[in-house]
């Protein structure tokens, strides 16, 4: 393992050569090289440690004759010690090399060497030319106090310097403007050319600082410097900050090891797309792995996420939405993804309304590529309308949607998808449609049925009409059943079963609609309550259906709790059923 020739990253020789080459990291090149290699070095040291901890000193020396040289050199390199992970693993290696009862002069000497090394790691000697710290110590300063004061001041002066660069940047522009009017254009041309080179070297310097900061970025005192680097305006033609630095900052943010201002986070994500993508994926992973389908937990995670804090920036929103779109396509419209998009949009709209800023954009601008009337209708919160108008409102949505998708010009696959995608953001209206389909006494509920069918099956048109017919039969029977004097699990099963002799099963999208309607039926009809548990047990016999039904129950419980107190009974039952499924 440690002699692996094929994989240089795991080879002892490779790292010893590196350590020799780096020395005490006195040149800028070697310093940057160290910083860029640290994560790999950590991996290697970790493997060494795993071997070392099973041996005594003599065995360790036989296995790795040059281990002392490697560890010693690395301990003298501040750029290695400054990286938390490497430093800790180096300490562990050192402790493995210590012999409690030294048997020979070599072991005795090694013990002494370890003590010296540890003293060196703490001692404030050799800091800077001016011997700052020893002098402060004669004044009675403790090493910790001395270092933290020094770090604070150096960070401050670097921040000042970075802000100074910003002013230089402005200067260049002014000079360019002046140049335009000036008769001595040639002279000024030379001046601005020299300023251009100056700005090039300054941007190189900023790049180098970003590399050198990478190991330190989780140190709380360094936070102002990170802010200054990220919000530094001089993001020139070439990348001003090192990509590994940006990725490391993002990783530390995701692990909550650091916290940065919203504007710094925004700069990070706008300039480093992989970071934003990783953040969205990270959020997705957390949402998908939630146990028990709770939308409350989902909301909590989304609201605490950095993403929601800066999603009001149109570019960030667009990219997040793009990732949602891909997730939807790749999972073929999985119900979990539908729910995630819906909950994220709910949280986003809520945050947008709570955000009091003069500069905030109207909500509709985030959905610029959709039908404006449709966007306005979907953006309407159900609570902003009297319940008696919900049906009308849904009818309006359906009609606009129908016209839009049947419009010959925009009948392309792409445009169909866009309308469907938009509807998914506001799935709460689809849930309301399903409920009204069963509970309202309106004669014509075709519009509601069409909306449900479109939500579950936007594409295949011939099949959509089959779905519509099948779902119509099932919903009519469910409504009829609510009037019959007796209800049992078997009656309910018969009601939703297919009665065609040609096909023994429904189209899959019909099944999803029926599942949705059944959940509503069990929750909203008091007769349904009596057989709810037994029926749910029937519905959730496979892992797949258990998953779908749980998701639907959680969605409904969440919607009802948003809509008000009068649904206490339904919410309670939904939660009980959810628990029932989980414990089954």
Partner 1 sequence: MEAILENLERFVEVLAVSQSKSVKDWDNLILQRAFQWSAYFQHIHQRFQTHVLIRTALEDRLWVINEELKTSMENYRFISFEDLGFCDEILYAFLLQNPALPKVQYEFLLSELKDESKPMMSCISHIFRQKAASQMLLSITSMLPNSLSKPLVLTQAHSLKKYLENRTKHLNKEEQLDRVSEVLSQVPKSHIFQLVAAVLAIDDIDTNISKLLVQWLVVDMLLFENFCSNLSCELLAKLVARNSELEAAYLSFLTKWGESMDYDIMNGYWSSNTAERSWEKLQDHFSWLLKGPQTLREATESTLKNLIAQDGNFNVYGISIWTDLLLVIKGSLSSDSAD
| Footprint of partner 1 (CB under 8 A) | 25-26, 28, 31, 78-82, 84, 87-88, 91-92, 94-96, 98, 100, 114-115, 118-119, 121-124, 127-128, 130-133, 135-158, 160-161, 164, 205, 208-209, 212-213, 215-216, 219, 221-222
Radius of gyration for the alpha carbons in the chain, expressed in angstroms and rounded:
33
Supply the minimum distance, in Å, between the C-beta of residue 175 and partner 1. 18
Using the minimum distance from each CB to partner 1, give the nearer residue, 130 or 483. 130
Q: Report d(CA 82, CA 80) in Å as an integer.
A: 5
Count of C-beta atoms within a 10 Å radius of residue 410 = 15
Using the minimum distance from each CB to partner 1, give the nearer residue, 8 or 102. 102
Using the minimum distance from each CB to partner 1, give the nearer residue, 68 or 382. 68
Residue 196 makes CB contacts below 8 A (sequence gap 6+) with 172
Supply the minimum distance, in Å, between the C-beta of residue 60 and partner 1. 14
Residue 230 makes CB contacts below 8 A (sequence gap 6+) with 241, 249, 260, 264, 265, 267, 268
Using the minimum distance from each CB to partner 1, give the nearer residue, 107 or 548. 107
Using the minimum distance from each CB to partner 1, give the nearer residue, 53 or 491. 53
Supply the minimum distance, in Å, between the C-beta of residue 133 and partner 1. 8
User: Do residues 240 and 206 touch, judged by C-beta distance below 8 A?
Assistant: yes
Using the minimum distance from each CB to partner 1, give the nearer residue, 151 or 188. 151
Closest residue by Cα to residue 333 from 548, 553, 559: 548
Using the minimum distance from each CB to partner 1, give the nearer residue, 123 or 498. 123
Supply the minimum distance, in Å, between the C-beta of residue 35 and partner 1. 9
Residue 353 makes CB contacts below 8 A (sequence gap 6+) with none
Residue whose entry in the numeric block shows the structure tokens 């989980």 = 582
Whole-angstrom CA distances from 547 to 292, 293, 374, 476 are 9, 9, 31, 26
Closest residue by Cα to residue 448 from 460, 438, 458: 438
Count of C-beta atoms within a 10 Å radius of residue 324 = 20
Supply the minimum distance, in Å, between the C-beta of residue 47 and partner 1. 16
Supply the minimum distance, in Å, between the C-beta of residue 202 and partner 1. 9
Token pair listed for 87: 């430093």
Using the minimum distance from each CB to partner 1, give the nearer residue, 248 or 495. 248
Using the minimum distance from each CB to partner 1, give the nearer residue, 2 or 127. 127
Supply the minimum distance, in Å, between the C-beta of residue 87 and partner 1. 6
User: Do residues 577 and 532 touch, judged by C-beta distance below 8 A?
Assistant: yes
Please enumerate, as own/partner, the contacts of 172-179 that have beta carbons within 8 Å and a separation of 24 or more.
172/196, 172/199
Token pair listed for 191: 């001046």
Count of C-beta atoms within a 10 Å radius of residue 135 = 12
Using the minimum distance from each CB to partner 1, give the nearer residue, 28 or 329. 28
Token pair listed for 389: 């108008």
Closest residue by Cα to residue 519 from 507, 530, 528, 510: 528
Whole-angstrom CA distances from 568 to 88, 130, 437, 536, 557 are 53, 72, 21, 20, 9
Burial (CB count within 10 angstroms: exposed 0-12, middle 13-18, buried 19+), residue 516: buried
Closest residue by Cα to residue 271 from 230, 211, 224: 230
Closest residue by Cα to residue 127 from 114, 117, 137: 137
Supply the minimum distance, in Å, between the C-beta of residue 30 and partner 1. 11
Q: What is the three-class DSSP state of 83?
A: coil
Using the minimum distance from each CB to partner 1, give the nearer residue, 153 or 173. 153
Q: What is the largest CA-CA distance in the chain?
A: 99
Burial (CB count within 10 angstroms: exposed 0-12, middle 13-18, buried 19+), residue 409: exposed
Q: Which DSSP string corresponds to 543-555?
A: HHHHHHHHHHHHH
Supply the minimum distance, in Å, between the C-beta of residue 19 and partner 1. 15
Using the minimum distance from each CB to partner 1, give the nearer residue, 222 or 437. 222
Residue whose entry in the numeric block shows the structure tokens 């419009």 = 407
Using the minimum distance from each CB to partner 1, give the nearer residue, 123 or 440. 123
Query: What is the dihedral sign for C-alpha 463, 465, 469, 471?
Result: positive
Residue 173 makes CB contacts below 8 A (sequence gap 6+) with none
Supply the minimum distance, in Å, between the C-beta of residue 212 and partner 1. 5
Supply the minimum distance, in Å, between the C-beta of residue 538 and partner 1. 49
Supply the minimum distance, in Å, between the C-beta of residue 196 and partner 1. 17
Supply the minimum distance, in Å, between the C-beta of residue 57 and partner 1. 13
Supply the minimum distance, in Å, between the C-beta of residue 83 and partner 1. 8
């Amino acid at each position: 393992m440690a002699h692996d020739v094929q994989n240089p990253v795991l080879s002892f020789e490779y790292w010893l050569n590196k350590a020799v080459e780096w020395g005490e990291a006195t040149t800028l090149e070697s310093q940057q090289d160290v910083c860029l290699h640290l994560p790999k070095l950590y991996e290697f040291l970790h493997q060494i440690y795993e071997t070392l901890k099973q041996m005594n000193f003599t065995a360790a020396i036989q296995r790795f004759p040059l281990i002392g040289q490697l560890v010693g050199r690395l301990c003298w390199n501040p750029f290695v010690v400054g990286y938390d992970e490497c430093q800790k693993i180096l300490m562990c290696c050192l402790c493995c090399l210590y012999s409690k009862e030294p048997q020979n002069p070599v072991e005795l000497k090694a013990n002494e060497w370890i003590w010296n090394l540890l003293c060196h790691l703490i001692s404030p000697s050799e800091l800077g030319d001016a011997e700052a710290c020893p002098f402060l110590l004669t004044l009675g300063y403790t090493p910790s106090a001395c270092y933290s004061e020094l770090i604070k001041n150096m960070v401050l002066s670097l921040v000042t310097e970075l802000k100074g660069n910003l002013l230089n940047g402005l200067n260049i522009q002014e000079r360019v403007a002046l140049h335009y009017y000036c008769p001595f254009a040639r002279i000024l041309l030379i001046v601005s050319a020299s300023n251009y080179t100056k700005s090039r070297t300054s941007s190189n310097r900023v790049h180098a600082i970003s590399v050198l900061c990478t190991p330190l970025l989780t140190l709380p005192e360094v936070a102002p410097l990170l802010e200054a680097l990220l919000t530094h305006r001089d993001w020139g033609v070439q990348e001003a900050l090192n990509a590994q630095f940006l990725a490391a900052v993002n990783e530390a943010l995701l692990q909550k090891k650091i916290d940065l201002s919203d504007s710094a986070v925004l700069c990070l994500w706008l300039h480093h797309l992989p970071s934003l993508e990783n953040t969205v994926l990270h959020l997705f992973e957390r949402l998908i792995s939630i146990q028990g389908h709770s939308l409350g937990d989902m909301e909590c995670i989304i609201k605490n996420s950095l993403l929601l804090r800066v999603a009001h920036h149109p570019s960030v929103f667009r990219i997040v939405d793009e990732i949602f779109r891909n997730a939807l396509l790749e999972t073929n419209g999985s119900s979990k993804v539908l729910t995630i998009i819906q909950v994220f949009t709910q949280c986003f709209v809520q945050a947008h309304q709570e955000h009091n800023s003069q500069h905030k954009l109207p909500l509709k601008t985030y959905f610029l590529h959709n039908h404006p009337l449709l966007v306005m209708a979907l953006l309407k919160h159900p609570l902003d309308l009297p319940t008696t108008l919900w049906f009308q409102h849904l009818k309006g949505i359906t009609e606009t949607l129908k016209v839009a998708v049947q419009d010959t010009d925009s009948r392309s696959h792409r445009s169909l998808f866009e309308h469907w995608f938009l509807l998914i953001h506001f799935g709460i209206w689809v849930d309301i449609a399903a409920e009204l389909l069963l509970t309202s006494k309106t004669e014509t509920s075709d519009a509601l049925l069409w909306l449900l069918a479109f939500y579950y099956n936007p594409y295949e048109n011939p099949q959509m009409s089959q779905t519509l017919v099948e779902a119509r039969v099932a919903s009519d029977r469910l409504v009829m059943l609510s009037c019959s004097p007796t209800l049992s699990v078997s009656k309910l099963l018969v009601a939703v079963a297919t009665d065609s002799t040609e096909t023994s099963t429904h189209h899959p999208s019909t099944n999803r609609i029926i599942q949705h309607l059944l959940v509503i039926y069990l929750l909203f009809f008091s007769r349904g309550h009596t057989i709810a548990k037994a029926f749910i047990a029937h519905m959730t016999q496979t892992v797949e259906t258990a998953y779908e039904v749980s998701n639907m129950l959680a969605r409904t419980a969440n919607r009802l709790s948003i809509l008000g107190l009068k649904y206490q009974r339904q919410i309670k039952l939904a939660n009980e059923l959810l628990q029932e499924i989980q414990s089954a």
